[in-house]
Structure 1
């Protein structure tokens, strides 16, 4: 499974799928820990959860984000021993990754002069949170609809005719990419980072292209993650809002949108805040990011659970659902 994930994820992203490597990285790390023998089921389950946090930390060069993700999403009760294991595992993973990649934050170094804000940022944070919360709920609904809804007739058809399905939705991914000038291809990290580094506006269709590019990629059956794609979509939504909030620095809108949309689809606002702050090295802007993320998460919760909790029902009995929370 792990080997297949590596190959298919590489091929999917290389083909232009609007998804990231982070989801498969989490699954690969968790599956490797799951293969350990001569240990109890309880310890194996713990290692799988630790593996998920390690995967996030390694993928984003964000050890704190990986730790918080594992705690908020998987580990409900944490002891000192588990905390030490989690800290050690994530730090080692990031250290090893740093040997082969850049030490720079995932989103680069933000111009701190552009992060100064006043009380009006509260209103902006709420507006961004509301918008991203609604868009995130729609994104989650569509993702669950095309990926795990067994009652939908088209999903039964897709499972039976998977090659034809891959061709049809693959062409749709290519068509969306053509309409957006290639901006919808990939996870969008380099594009979003370019917008952040240069403090320039994204094309108005950026968020729309990434949004439907990701939905189409999942519909085609391509394995991939939502984290980095969600950050790109959130940045695009923030860019659209900036047309009405011209008095706010563009970089601030980008950061608010990224954290808010990620919080909306995962309903893990603390993870979203820590990751965006850590990846952009923007700790002085953490309170506005926190506000936007929690507003988005609360709005999204009104329409159902986060995307991961809904998708997991495809693999376990609904009676055990609460065990995943």
Structure 2
């Protein structure tokens, strides 16, 4: 049976429908815009953190006043005007994608207004020297831009809000890390759980356009630089296994600690935080400043520069500094300020790998650092494929593909024995709170009655604040 007439008929219908092509043009424009917003976030955070470091070198003791004051200001502004911008932003996007989330409340998790606020508040966090990354915010930023395209599309379009959110989230990760494969895996593994065929083309298109915008500005460079790994053999097996187990256990503890802190687990500190959230944020900022002062500034910011120096053999993130970076990242998240976890997690993982390399031999240093980065990130997020791909795209060559994959999977398995997935748990918490509240109440991603802020390494709280300090 000749199917050619059907093909020609479909082709004519495709070419003659101007509205379909207009919808596609709108989506393409928004995908490029999402890349521009992520670039703006990256450039702004890099510039302002450079200024912070210059100020720290000239007046190191000033951070004891500056960091607590700015942290308190960020927490106050976030709770009062932009509760949905709290934390990393990934749990908010996951919550918005959840079918159980009331449709009228999804804009409280992802919107163009929150995109602009997220950029400003994240930049302020880097200006304060807090231990945060920009990759989680990039997910919420890009998703907020992409979902805005829906209002300009025709009512009959097949492009739905879910597909736009998935495309935006994937584009955010891809543009932030300059890792397009990681963007695809992130959409499948972390955001959607599966990749719908009708959304796959849109996701890839958004990743390509956002990635091209980022590459045109930054060049084809990795955020953490390039990891040059020498040829290795069986001598990597024992220390590599130790890195996987250590990073898996540390990542599981890290994730469990975050969940307990950010979902209102009972405890005296959480009660204080619920009652005086702004004072708590100021105290947390002071703790981060003291840790940064004690480490000579190593624990401030995302940690990418420390990792680059470590890979170049000029600096080491000692075991003590790695532990302090761990603590500084947790405290920053507990304060309820907007900021991501991916970059700090990668720097902590690099520190774990470097510590074991000091025992195994310096020649294995780059390989074990790469394994530590993949293992710890996989353990924290329990998304091993995404973690493996992100680190693999930093490695010069593919000699470590199987090693990175095995390390990420084993570390994720160890983490699952210790606690639940971080982003999944926090997003479920957001959805549950959204469902339980009357439609007239706003969703706070910070904190409330008897709980705490919902993310900084990853989520937001969903209950209305009690304190006058936090009234929206």
Pairwise same-fold verdict (TM > 0.5)? yes
Residue of structure 1 in register with 2:406 after alignment = 291
Give the Cα–Cα distance (whole angstroms) in 1 for the partners of residues 433 and 237 of structure 2: 39
What's the offset of the Cα at 1:200? 5.1
What's the offset of the Cα at 1:247? 6.3
Answer whether contact 2:166 2:203 (CA < 8 A) is retained. Answer: no
State the number of aligned residues.
318
Give the Cα–Cα distance (whole angstroms) in 1 for the partners of residues 158 and 325 of structure 2: 40
| Aligned pairs (5 A) from 1:146-185 | 146-149=261-264, 151-185=266-300
Residue of structure 2 in register with 1:268 after alignment = 383
The superposition leaves residues 230-283 of structure 1 with CA deviations (integer Å, 9 ceiling, x where unpaired) of 100000111121232226521111000000000001111111111101123342
Unmatched runs of 5 consecutive residues or more in structure 2: 1-113, 436-472
Residue of structure 1 in register with 2:341 after alignment = 226
What's the offset of the Cα at 1:285? 1.2
Give the Cα–Cα distance (whole angstroms) in 1 for the partners of residues 126 and 303 of structure 2: 11
Answer whether contact 2:306 2:315 (CA < 8 A) is retained. Answer: no
The superposition leaves residues 205-229 of structure 1 with CA deviations (integer Å, 9 ceiling, x where unpaired) of 2211210110111122221111111
**CA distance change for structure 1 residues 194 and 77 in 2, over 3 Å: closer, same or farther?**
same
RMSD of aligned alpha carbons: 2.2
Give the Cα–Cα distance (whole angstroms) in 2 for the partners of residues 176 and 319 of structure 1: 36
What's the offset of the Cα at 1:76? 2.9
Deviates more, 1:53-62 or 1:24-33: 24-33
Q: Which residue of 183, 189, 192 maps to 1:66?
A: 183
What's the offset of the Cα at 1:288? 1.0
What's the offset of the Cα at 1:146? 2.0
| Aligned pairs (5 A) from 1:106-121 | 106-111=223-228, 114-121=229-236
Answer whether contact 1:125 1:291 (CA < 8 A) is retained. Answer: no
TM-score with structure 1 setting the length: 0.91
Q: What is the SS of the residue equivalent to 1:146? A: helix
**CA distance change for structure 1 residues 316 and 23 in 2, over 3 Å: closer, same or farther?**
same
| Aligned pairs (5 A) from 1:165-314 | 165-198=280-313, 201-246=316-361, 248-314=363-429
Unmatched runs of 5 consecutive residues or more in structure 1: 321-325
Give the Cα–Cα distance (whole angstroms) in 2 for the partners of residues 121 and 34 of structure 1: 45
TM-score with structure 2 setting the length: 0.64
What's the offset of the Cα at 1:160? 3.2
Answer whether contact 1:239 1:254 (CA < 8 A) is retained. Answer: yes
Q: What is the SS of the residue equivalent to 1:115? A: coil
**CA distance change for structure 1 residues 173 and 41 in 2, over 3 Å: closer, same or farther?**
farther
Residue of structure 2 in register with 1:323 after alignment = none
Give the Cα–Cα distance (whole angstroms) in 1 for the partners of residues 310 and 197 of structure 2: 41
Answer whether contact 1:110 1:282 (CA < 8 A) is retained. Answer: no
**CA distance change for structure 1 residues 127 and 318 in 2, over 3 Å: closer, same or farther?**
farther
What's the offset of the Cα at 1:290? 1.1
Q: Which residue of 125, 146, 170 maps to 1:33?
A: 146
Residue of structure 1 in register with 2:116 after alignment = 3
- Bigger CA radius of gyration: 2
